[in-house]
């Protein structure tokens, strides 16, 4: 494949893989805990922590994809609140060719590690250093930092 071939266009053009992730919190008005999920697969990502979610399917909106993924992966009916704005309208760059949009979300159901994860952990937002110290997928770290700031603002806003 040459540099101007279709593979390059797929990487750089509008065909980037669209991923959606949820910052599930216990209470959107006064968030105290955030759900982190540890990946069980593929091998390259196993053991790393992430926001539950996944790829947007063709013809699907980001919010619809996220609600579907949270049902499949965690068995919860989620409510999406505000989006955590990324550096571009497509969201946050991930490694390789993917870009992720992230929404702050809540659920009244109890999440279970049904698919893709081997551990779920409600991390305490009173200890942000412990949250960032988790071995997140490296691309998620700027997202976690921004999220912690936004959640701290929500806690003091009302
Ligand atoms: N869900 C999720 N994926 C992330 C995060 N950070 C990050 O780099 N990724 C990457 C990992 C994967 O390469 C990709 C998401 O793919 P996925 O495997 O979760 O998607 P999916 O559930 O739709 O799975 P599949 O149908 O492709 O098997 O984005 C994150 O915080 N959450």
- In this structure, what token pair is assigned to residue 118? 């081997």
Q: What is the arithmetic mean of pLDDT over 91-107?
A: 95
C-alpha–C-alpha distance, residues 109 and 125, integer Å? 20
Q: What's the distance, Cα to Cα, between the start and end of the chain in Å?
A: 56
User: Which CATH number is correct for 18-146, 3.40.50.2300, 1.10.1270.20, 3.20.20.70, 3.90.79.10?
Assistant: 3.90.79.10
pLDDT of residue 11 exceeding 60: no
Backbone conformation region of residue 126, classed left if phi is above 0, alpha if psi is from -120 to 50, else beta: alpha
| CB of 139 sitting under 6 A from ligand 1 | yes
Confidence (pTM): 0.91
pLDDT digits (tens, 9 = 90+) for 132-145: 999 999 999 999 99
| CB of 92 sitting under 6 A from ligand 1 | no
6 confidence band (pLDDT: 50, 70, 90): very low
């Amino acid at each position: 494949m040459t540099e101007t071939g279709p593979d390059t266009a797929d990487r750089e053009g509008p065909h980037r893989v669209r991923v959606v992730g949820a910052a599930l919190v216990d209470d959107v008005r006064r968030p105290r805990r955030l759900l982190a999920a540890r990946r069980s697969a593929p091998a390259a990502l196993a053991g790393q922590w992430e926001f539950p979610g996944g790829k947007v399917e063709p013809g699907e909106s980001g919010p619809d994809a996220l609600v579907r993924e949270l049902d499949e992966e965690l068995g919860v009916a989620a409510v999406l609140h505000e989006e955590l704005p990324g550096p571009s309208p497509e969201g946050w760059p991930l490694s390789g060719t993917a870009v992720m949009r992230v929404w702050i979300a809540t659920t009244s159901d109890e999440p279970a590690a049904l698919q893709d994860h081997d551990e779920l952990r409600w991390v305490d937002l009173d200890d942000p250093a412990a949250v960032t110290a988790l071995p997140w997928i490296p691309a998620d770290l700027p997202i976690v930092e921004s999220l912690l700031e936004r959640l701290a603002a929500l806690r003091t806003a009302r």
